[in-house]
Structure 1
Amino acid sequence: MRMSRQDAAKNRERVLRTAGEMFRRDGYDGTGIAALMKASGMTNGAFYKQFDSKEALIAEATAQALAENAEAWSKVLAGAEGDPLTAIAQWYLSDLHLEHRGKGCTYATLAAEAPRHEGAVRKAFDDGLRHTVEIIAGLEHSGDAQRDETAALRYLSRLVGALILARAAEDPDLSRHILEANRDPD
């Protein structure tokens, strides 16, 4: 029995979402096709009907996960009261984000792995970074676009670095101290 295009599209979307979560949780190389497809409720054969290769899936799932990151940033900013940079820092450097890699920031989980992959994965990161920096730079109002972009890059790097270090620390007190020390945008 043939599957409808609508069902095929839903299955592909489910694989992409599951892959994005598993990649963030276990890394690109720590996620096998068999485990991914099982978690998606599908067979290995279905993978090869939907994607040319694991590398193609990695690039597409990364782009989707980074787009989801940008949506989350925008949602936090839309609900921010007071200083939007403080709202982002409070949300991003939270205990919840610290403890849930699979649903969290793609930059903090996969940026170190991306250079070991093909150009499409790196392009997904470039595009995602540019978009996130635009969101943050739009909050700056110095009148100098390059200065605002530089400040946004610095701010994003600080948040991502703090989250990575907090996740790497074994001592929960040290982890929380790292987060707290970086919640103030100044």
Structure 2
Amino acid sequence: MGRVSQAQAEENRRRVVDTASRLLRERGTQVSVADLMKASGLTHGAFYKQFDSKGALVDEATAHAFAELTRRHAAGIERYDGRRDAAQRALIDTYLSVEHRDDAADGCPVAGLASDIAREGGGAEARRVYTEGVAGFAAFLGADEAGGDGDEDGIARLCTLFGALVLARATKGSPLSEQILAAAHAALTETG
């Protein structure tokens, strides 16, 4: 079999990073390289032509997941004509939905990667990207229409979103799961 073109190699790498980003949020860093490559539609051997190690892929996939989250926040602000409060409310509605609870692969990397990052599932780069991503998400949630940063409010909102999502996923299949989502939603929206 012949060599792939540079353009095809770049496309393959993008596909692996995107697939890894989704699988890591869904299954954690214990997912095997073989499973990642199979899900990407590539051979296990192709992995080593693209990445130095699984840790390097985890680093890149973590950055990819947070870049995607940042794009979603920017798109939300644009969709609501710059009205940050409306974009924040839409994010809360989506974040605390049954659909988000049930779709970890396409869900928030803050919740999807937290346990693995805490256990050094990535490397120093993954932890740095994760930390910056958490700070950016909190800033998005804390900023107000006047441009104030509201750091404390943003952190508190993020903690509420994150905690509710993790608990709702852990109790999925019981009535408590949806009660958790509803209670967190009410706490974040009824108080402004």
What is the TM-score of this pair, normalised by structure 1? 0.89
Residues 77, 87 of structure 1: 8 Å contact kept? no
> Displacement, 1:87?
1.8
What pairs up with 1:117-128 in 2 under 5 angstroms? 117=120, 118-128=123-133
Aligned to 1:183, what secondary structure does the other structure show? helix
2: distance between equivalents of 1:131 and 1:44?
A: 35
What pairs up with 1:108-119 in 2 under 5 angstroms? 108-117=111-120, 118-119=123-124
From 135, 153, 156, the equivalent of 2:155 is: 153
> Displacement, 1:122?
0.5
Aligned residue in 2 for 1:47: 47
- Per mean C-alpha deviation after superposition, the further-off stretch among 164-173 and 153-162 is 164-173
What pairs up with 1:1-186 in 2 under 5 angstroms? 1-29=2-30, 31-80=31-80, 83-117=86-120, 118-139=123-144, 141=146, 143=148, 145=149, 148-184=150-186, 185=188, 186=191
2: distance between equivalents of 1:139 and 1:48?
A: 46
Aligned-pair identity in percent equals 37
Residues 136, 152 of structure 1: 8 Å contact kept? yes
Q: Deviations over 1:108-164 (max 9, x none)?
A: 121121022221110110121222223223336484x4xx11111111111011000
Residues 138, 157 of structure 2: 8 Å contact kept? no
Residues 84, 139 of structure 1: 8 Å contact kept? no
